[in-house]
Amino acid sequence: MIVRMTSGSLGLLAFSAAIMAGLWAGNDMTTILRRAWWALILFVVLGAVLGWLAQIAINEYLEMQSKQEDAAAADDMKPASAADGGKK
């Protein structure tokens, strides 16, 4: 989900920025659309890579949190004598 949102957002942002820059520079419509198309393609790919890296980081964080919660729950489930090494 993050990959698609990031790539789509960056692609559309680059497309619109390229169109605005081309209009501001006074380029003809063919040149503007060609450059905007290439910007769209480039930034969709870039956004997909960045979104993929973000998804990996989020998944690793959630896995680490899950392991910590499982370890804490396991410590809470131990009897008091087992938790302190059997010493009284």
Identify whether 18 is part of a domain: yes
- Tell whether 21 is covered by a domain: yes
Does a structural domain hold residue 84?
no
Query: Domain count of the chain?
Result: 1
What is the torsional sign of CA 35, 36, 41, 46?
positive
For the stretch 65-81, pLDDT in tens is 999 988 888 887 877 66
48, burial (CB in 10 Å: exposed 0-12, middle 13-18, buried 19+): middle
Q: Let me know if residue 88 belongs to a domain.
A: no
Q: What is the pLDDT of residues 8-62, one digit of tens each?
A: 999 999 999 999 999 999 999 999 999 999 999 999 999 999 999 999 999 999 9
Determine, yes or no, domain membership for 87: no
Please check whether residue 86 lies inside any domain of the structure: no
Is residue 12 a part of any domain in this protein? Answer: yes
Q: Is residue 78, in this structure, part of any structural domain at all?
A: no
